[in-house]
Chains A and B, each alone.
Chain A
């Protein structure tokens, strides 16, 4: 019942660039609410990766970047590394639901 839709999986070779899409609607991303991205390793809590669409908290490598356009957002990982293999979730706020909403999640595999 996730409101934000992500591809189930993306993969890439070390050093490549991969992008993860996050499709929303006019009641969340499209109306101007910020998009956040979280990284989650198996058995661990999510970690904030990107806030306010394209800002990185301290300690997050600059190979991670976020963007937003219309009703969608994207997370890009440039120079993919083995340690980037994890699940990634987008998050925003939905005005119609009056609720924080998460994406369906994307598993990144490093080939």
Chain B
């Protein structure tokens, strides 16, 4: 079965760069139509999509955060890495990675448990 799990620092300082890793099993990122996305959720607020990487290395980013985000994949390790530069306290929240399926934009059908990131000095 498909599982995904996020890992990364729980605390980062303002202006620092955040690096999060999504480790997954049960699927391969070299299989057609497969993708892995990142979504975040500030405390008490709505979900916000951040980035997505497809099996063919096509990458998509949230337009409002595009200049700060980089998403990469390591197919051999079954991992996807998201980096976010210039972290600010407003970036505090739970960060989720999720398996993307379906045709067209598709949907996120398997989610990790999330990792809480706090931005504070």
Residues in A lying within 8 Å of B, measured CB to CB: 1-2, 33-34, 36, 38, 44-48, 51-52, 57, 89, 91-93, 97-105
Q: How many residues of B contact A (CB 8 A)?
A: 22
Closest Cβ neighbor of A47 among chain B residues: B111
B64 in the interface, Cβ–Cβ < 8 Å? yes
Are A100 and B105 in touch, CB under 8 angstroms? yes
B112 in the interface, Cβ–Cβ < 8 Å? yes
Question: Once the chains are docked, how many angstroms separate the CA of A91 from the CA of B39?
Answer: 12
Q: Which residues from chain B contact A2 at a C-beta distance below 8 Å?
A: 46
Q: Which residues from chain B contact A92 at a C-beta distance below 8 Å?
A: 105
Question: Which of B37, B109, B113, B114 is close to A51, meaning CB atoms less than 8 Å apart?
Answer: B109
Are B112 and A45 in touch, CB under 8 angstroms? yes
Central interface residue in B52, B62, B107, B111, by most chain A CB within 10 Å: B107
Q: Which residues from chain B contact A45 at a C-beta distance below 8 Å?
A: 96, 111-114
Shortest beta-carbon distance, B41 to chain A, in Å?
A: 8
Question: Once the chains are docked, how many angstroms separate the CA of A86 from the CA of B47?
Answer: 14
Q: Which residues from chain A contact B60 at a C-beta distance below 8 Å?
A: 98-99
Q: Which residues from chain A contact B47 at a C-beta distance below 8 Å?
A: 38, 46, 89, 91, 102, 105
Question: Once the chains are docked, how many angstroms separate the CA of A10 from the CA of B119?
Answer: 33
Question: Which of A33, A52, A89, A99 is close to B46, meaning CB atoms less than 8 Å apart?
Answer: A89
Shortest beta-carbon distance, B69 to chain A, in Å?
A: 12
Q: Which residues from chain A contact B48 at a C-beta distance below 8 Å?
A: 102
Question: Which of B63, B104, B112 is close to A93, meaning CB atoms less than 8 Å apart?
Answer: B104
Are B96 and A99 in touch, CB under 8 angstroms? no
Question: Once the chains are docked, how many angstroms separate the CA of A48 from the CA of B47?
Answer: 13
B89 in the interface, Cβ–Cβ < 8 Å? no
